[in-house]
Amino acid sequence: MPLAPVDDAFVATLAAQLPDGTLRPTEPRYLEEPRGRWTGTARHLALPRTAQEVATIVRACAAAGVGIVPYGGGTGLVGGQIAPAEMVEPLILSLERMNAIRGVYAEESVLIAEAGAILADVQAAAANVDRLFPLSLAAEGSARIGGVLGTNAGGVNVLRYGNARDLVLGLEAVLPDGQIWNGLKRLRKDNTGYDLRHLLVGAEGTLGVITAAALKLSPVPAGHGTALMVVESPAAALTLLSMARSQMGEAISAFEIMNRMGLEFLAEKVPDVRQPFADKPEWMVLIDVGLARGLDPAEALETLFAEALEAGLVSDGVIAQSEAQAQEFWSVRERIPEANRMIGAVSSHDISVPLGALPDFIARGYEVIGALGAFRINCFGHLGDGNLHYNIFPVAGRSRADHDPQRDAIKRALHDLCHEMGGSVSAEHGIGRLKVGDLERYGDPVKLGAMRAIKAALDPAGIMNPGAVLRLA
């Protein structure tokens, strides 16, 4: 059945079932995405305060055949939060008013947060009871828990703590028929049939609306250390990671790789970022470790550097001597995306390949792009979990608009290479609407068939984030 637009009669009927102010005209910020590539369409916005109000909204939309686009912090990079202009006008559903921390259970290392809670606020609530919510990403000051879980976000600490999926014990959610699933359990063992939380996490709002989550916390490491090390190549960085794991085990929280191009972009566009090396290295890694009480992180990093230097893996390095210096090191990594946006990427890629294939992928990627023309490549990302941001930029003096006709060819070439090497064309950003075609091209047909069957079973009217993840029928 085709979707129906949000008309005045529907708005009036729904408004009568909700508190005043729950429905309002849409503001421009709900129709934009961070890279400025799409502008959405929707005249009406719902701002519920409770799961019951979300259920009321979803039931009304199901009855009328109106599409719902869930909206978190708006930080997604694949268009999952944007209804394109060619889509039948949907209702935008933002959970920003549902931002409470419902409970913190320090002895259990569990925190319950509503879906509209900002990630940084969840981190702070955990810190208040000497616990760590380890999911960390550049947009944590505006990303909301519902969106973080809906996209199964990764971030910089996946190496040690896993993706968002690994940090969820239970969920409260409204299903596409308007029923509330009360799965907000704090259990670490609950082997009672199909696990709906893992169906909803990563579904990008296409199977229901997450309204609250029970989140797993971790101990705060007693000692924390951060270092930057200049490596000879991506292959050397991979060997260094193996060496670090042998010495420190699971204490490594993050292992990020950066290329000289990213440092040049920072120097050009964000000169206030202090760079640690006078001569910009071709490759360097940022290592973050957290050790138990009685162990010295700086000493562990010094030992690692000495062994790596002797092995010819590194040529220079610096270990943070204070928390402020550690933040300076992290600002280099975290502000590379900001510099990238200022330069203007022709095509950006969030890919992952098996760790052992990373050096070959990077080298072959340069060859593939070089065959398409003259470009600047900024390759950086989460080496520890195999996730690279492999972004293509115009040469100095040209703009990304000059290369618009080549964007599809560039993306196809790199994604074909990634698929050939056993990788994924969406490592942590999700599918959204941008990568629906990629999922169809590279996804396993059996998996796609199962996904469509699940969607049809739970959301037969197709109202939940229509056109995201799976193409509109």
CATH of the domain at 275: 3.30.70.2190
Closest CA to 430 of 1, 12, 77: 77
Q: What pLDDT is stored for residue 86 in this prediction?
A: 78
Tell me, what CATH number does 162's domain have?
3.30.465.10
Q: pLDDT tens digits, residue range 448-459? A: 999 999 999 999
Q: Is residue 3 part of a domain?
A: no
Confidence of residue 336 (pLDDT cuts 50, 70, 90): very high
Tell me, what CATH number does 65's domain have?
3.30.43.10
Q: Are residues 149 and 237 located together in one domain of the fold?
A: no
Q: Provide mean pLDDT across the span 292-305.
A: 90
Domain termination residue (choose one: 96, 130, 155): 96
Q: Provide mean pLDDT across the span 436-444.
A: 96
Q: What pLDDT is stored for residue 97 in this prediction?
A: 98
Q: Is the dihedral of CA 385, 34, 147, 253 positive or negative?
A: positive
Q: Provide mean pLDDT across the span 299-304.
A: 96
Closest CA to 244 of 389, 384, 388: 384
Residue 37 has pLDDT above 80, yes or no: no
Counting the structural domains of the chain, the total is 4
Closest CA to 156 of 252, 266, 79: 252
Residue 47 has pLDDT above 80, yes or no: yes
Here the tokens at position 455 are 């969607």
**CA angle, corner 59, sides to 56 and 64, nearest 5?**
125
By DSSP bridging, strand 223-231 and strand 314-319 are antiparallel
Cβ(418)–Cβ(411) below 8 Å: no
Q: Mean pLDDT across the chain, nearest whole number?
A: 95
Q: Is residue 452 part of a domain?
A: no
Q: Is residue 78 part of a domain?
A: yes
Q: Chain-centre distance of CA 258, in angstroms?
A: 18
Here the tokens at position 165 are 């999926």
Q: Are residues 227 and 329 located together in one domain of the fold?
A: yes
Q: What pLDDT is stored for residue 472 in this prediction?
A: 86
Q: Is residue 408 part of a domain?
A: yes
Round to whole Å and give the CA distance between 231 and 115: 41
Q: Is residue 63 part of a domain?
A: yes
Q: pLDDT tens digits, residue range 147-193? A: 999 999 998 999 999 999 999 999 999 999 999 999 999 999 999 99
CA distances from 19 to 54, 57, 145, 205 (A): 12, 12, 24, 24
Q: Provide mean pLDDT across the span 21-46.
A: 89
Q: Provide mean pLDDT across the span 412-429.
A: 96
Q: Are residues 242 and 275 located together in one domain of the fold?
A: yes
Domain ranges, residue 426: 344-432
Round to whole Å and give the CA distance between 340 and 261: 10
Q: Provide mean pLDDT across the span 41-55.
A: 96
| Sheet containing 23-25: order of strands | 23-25, 44-46, 91-94, 68-71
Residue 465 has pLDDT above 90, yes or no: yes
Closest CA to 200 of 225, 219, 174: 174
Q: Are residues 391 and 300 located together in one domain of the fold?
A: no
Domain termination residue (choose one: 96, 117, 136): 96
Residue 35 has pLDDT above 80, yes or no: no
Q: Are residues 245 and 208 located together in one domain of the fold?
A: no
Q: What pLDDT is stored for residue 295 in this prediction?
A: 80
Q: Provide mean pLDDT across the span 261-266.
A: 97
Output the pTM of the full model.
Answer: 0.93
Residue 1 has pLDDT above 80, yes or no: no
Confidence of residue 38 (pLDDT cuts 50, 70, 90): confident
Round to whole Å and give the CA distance between 58 and 348: 34
Measured N-to-C along each axis, helices 336-343 and 260-269 cross at an angle, to the nearest 10 degrees, of 70
Q: What pLDDT is stored for residue 292 in this prediction?
A: 81
Q: Are residues 106 and 89 located together in one domain of the fold?
A: no
pLDDT > 90 in the chain, percent: 90
Q: Are residues 64 and 106 located together in one domain of the fold?
A: no
Q: pLDDT tens digits, residue range 68-103? A: 999 999 989 898 899 887 789 999 999 999 999 999
Q: pLDDT tens digits, residue range 184-196? A: 999 999 999 999 9
Q: What pLDDT is stored for residue 463 in this prediction?
A: 97
Give buried/exposed letters for 151-184 (b at 16+ CB in 10 A, else e): bbbbbbbbbbbebbeebbbbbbbbbbbbebbebb
Q: Which positions ≥6 away from 2 have C-beta within 8 Å? A: 65, 88
Q: Is residue 386 part of a domain?
A: yes
291 vs 108 pLDDT, higher one: 108
Confidence of residue 36 (pLDDT cuts 50, 70, 90): confident
Confidence of residue 41 (pLDDT cuts 50, 70, 90): confident
Q: Is residue 113 part of a domain?
A: yes
Q: Provide mean pLDDT across the span 323-338.
A: 95
Q: Are residues 64 and 21 located together in one domain of the fold?
A: yes
Residue 12 has pLDDT above 90, yes or no: yes
Q: Provide mean pLDDT across the span 373-396.
A: 96
Domain termination residue (choose one: 289, 316, 337): 337
Residue 340 has pLDDT above 90, yes or no: yes
Phi-psi region of 467 (alpha: psi -120 to 50; beta: other; left: phi over 0): left
Q: What pLDDT is stored for residue 230 in this prediction?
A: 98
| Sheet containing 376-382: order of strands | 314-319, 223-231, 283-291, 252-259, 376-382, 387-393, 350-352
SS (H, E, C) the chain: CCCECCCHHHHHHHHCCCCCCCEEECCHHHHECCCCCCECCCCEEECCCCHHHHHHHHHHHHHHCECEEEECCCCCCCCCCCCCCCCCCCEEEECCCCCCEEEEEHHHCEEEEECCCEHHHHHHHHHCCCEECCCCCCCCCCCEHHHHHHCCCCCCCHHHHCCHHHHEEEEEEECCCCCEEEECCCCCCCCCCCCHHHHHCCCCCCCCEEEEEEEECEECCCEEEEEEEEECCHHHHHHHHHHHHHHHHHHEEEEEEEEHHHHHHHHHHCCCCCCCCCCCCCEEEEEEEEECCCCCHHHHHHHHHHHHHHCCCEEEEEECCCHHHHHHHHHHHHCHHHHHHHHCCCECCEEECCHHHHHHHHHHHHHHHHCCCCCEEEEEEEHHHCEEEEEEECCCCCCHHHHHHHHHHHHHHHHHHHHHCCCECCCCCCCCCCCHHHHHHHCCHHHHHHHHHHHHHHCCCCCECCCCCCCCC
Task: State the distance between the two ends of the chain, measured CA to CA, in whole angstroms.
Answer: 9
Q: Are residues 90 and 121 located together in one domain of the fold?
A: no
Q: Are residues 68 and 110 located together in one domain of the fold?
A: no
Q: Is residue 1 part of a domain?
A: no
Q: Which positions ≥6 away from 204 have C-beta within 8 Å? A: 80, 150, 151, 430, 431, 432, 465, 468, 469
Q: What pLDDT is stored for residue 402 in this prediction?
A: 94
Q: Provide mean pLDDT across the span 356-384.
A: 96
Q: What pLDDT is stored for residue 113 in this prediction?
A: 98
Q: Are residues 322 and 349 located together in one domain of the fold?
A: no
Q: Are residues 229 and 328 located together in one domain of the fold?
A: yes
Confidence of residue 114 (pLDDT cuts 50, 70, 90): very high
Q: pLDDT tens digits, residue range 118-151? A: 999 999 999 999 999 999 998 899 999 999 999 9
Tell me, what CATH number does 389's domain have?
3.30.70.2740
